[in-house]
Structure 1
Amino acid sequence: MATSDVQPPSTMDDPVYRTGVLELLGLLAYGEISACERLAEDAKMAPDLKHKVEIAAMATAEFHHFEKLRDRLVELGEDPFAVMQPFAPTFERFHGQTTPSDWLEGLVKAYVGDGLAADFYREIAAYLDPDTRTLVLDTLSGTGHSEFVVDAIRQAIDEDHRVGGRLALWGRRLMGEALSQAQMVVAERDALSTVLVGGVDHPGMDLAAIGRMFTRLTEAHAARMDKLGLAP
């Protein structure tokens, strides 16, 4: 059978595929609730009410995304919190190693970090069954709330050019930590990695394709940093 004739599974009948999808949904759900919590903390550092409300809007969007993922896990007959719990150390590691020291670093993390995560999940979505793909892509929608970050960062750089250098270094650190955690998660989760690289019954990425994926993630990060006025 030609590769073009092989289709991703349309049901969750394949136990390995089902486990991989559950892991992906659990990872996404924990990421969304973790982001909501992080943004709520960042809002405390906001310099004024306007920015506090902007961050609150981003946190609210993350929570609504979490609800969709939670509800899907329930539909699949799973305890969503049991599925999410194994990923707690992943996000604790990432947030522990990328705690912003001030408001501007928090903004860059919200904009760049969430963008990196969204890019990664969109790449994986291409190898999912239609229902799961639609859910994942829907979960990644509604990120327009973060556009105010661009104006805030550029204004800060205009006021003090030294800020640009510091935040550019911060952005590179975020990129390194995010890619490290993504690679670690895929390596630690056999079923999730099977969904990504493929298996007997469905196509996935070969090693060269995985390499190209990480190249695309790096390029998208560079474009995002440039938009903020933080040349790599």
Structure 2
Amino acid sequence: MSRFPADPARYNSFLRDLFGVMAYTELSAFERLSSDARYAPTLHDRAALGRIAVIEFQHYELVSSRLEAMGLDTEEAMLPFQPSVDHFHKRTRPADWHESLIKAYVIDTVSADAYRAMSRYLDAGTRALVEQVQAGDEAAAVLRERLRAALADDPKLASRLALWARRLLGEVLNEAQRMSFEHAFADRLIGADEDGPRELVRALLRELAANHARRMTQLGLAG
């Protein structure tokens, strides 16, 4: 059951920022995947990453449409999050094609987990949008299939990619925690006058790390 604040102004402010960061991360993912596709070793790989990029842009359009329906400008909603997201991607620039695959997979799956966990506290309409954006597992499934094929072709990749995945998870969780506190997401979501905003964030980070570890194990990597 959702527990969004009764204060409409505070909740709408939270939604503006939630949709702003969602829109920019989806737009950024589209740009990143489109660029990475150029370095794919085969045309099959290039087409696979290009298909995922299209999915990400469709997600951006969904969120942008919701912002416009709220009477908000999408660019203005995204701008506060652009520096943080861009800096994150500069810090985690992949060294090669295989690191690009792992980065895309980690970000896609951890982000989906985070939004789904957050949707427990949202109103029904917002929860439906989050579920629509995160619906299905097509992008993750494609990335997982390409990673398994790469690991089967070259088992020596496993140790390097496992280390890279661990670093990525740490960067993702640190960025999520920093952004949550900087923009007071948890406080606005469950109320600053209630107990537990910080514990909510810590519990979410533990949940994301545990889910990531299971996925890495399934890939044959140490998460």
Name the SS for the 1:44 alignment partner: helix
- Normalised by the size of structure 1, how large is the TM-score? 0.88
| Count of residue correspondences | 223
2:164 is aligned with 1:170? yes
The answer to whether the 8 Å contact 2:3/2:122 transfers is no
- Counterpart of 1:224 in structure 2 is 215
Q: Give the deviation of 1:75 after TM superposition.
A: 0.6
- Contact (CA 8 Å) 1:118, 1:140: kept in 2 or not? yes
| Deviation sequence 1:169-218 (CA, Å, 0-9, x none) | 0000110000111011111113x232334356xx8954444332221111
- Distance in 1, Cα, partners of 2:3 & 2:110: 28
Match of 2:186 among 186, 190, 193: 193
Aligned residue type for 1:116: V
Shift of 1:47: 0.9
TM superposition outliers: structure 1 runs of 4+ over 6 Å: none
- Structure 2 CA distance for partners of 1:62 and 1:204, relative to 1, 3 Å: farther
Letter in 1 for 2:61: E
Structure of higher RCO (CA pairs closer than 8 Å, 6+ residues apart): 1
Please report how far the alpha carbon of residue 224 of structure 1 lies from its aligned counterpart in structure 2 after TM superposition: 1.5
Separation in 2 of the partners of 1:176 and 1:146?
20
TM-score relative to the length of structure 2: 0.92
AA in 2 matched with 1:224:
R
Q: What is the aligned counterpart of 1:32 among 26, 29, 36?
A: 26
* Identical pairs, percent: 38
Structure 2's unaligned 5+ residue stretches are: none
1:110-149: CA deviations, max 9, x gaps? 1111111111111111111111111112111243133132
Q: Bigger CA drift: 60-69 or 118-127? A: 118-127
- 1:95 aligns to 2:86 (yes or no): no
Q: Residue 21 of structure 1 contacts residue 195 of structure 1 at CA under 8 Å; is this kept in 2? A: no
Structure 1 unmatched runs, 5+: none
**RMSD of aligned residue pairs (Cα, Å):** 2.1
Give the equivalent residue in structure 2 for 1:211: 202
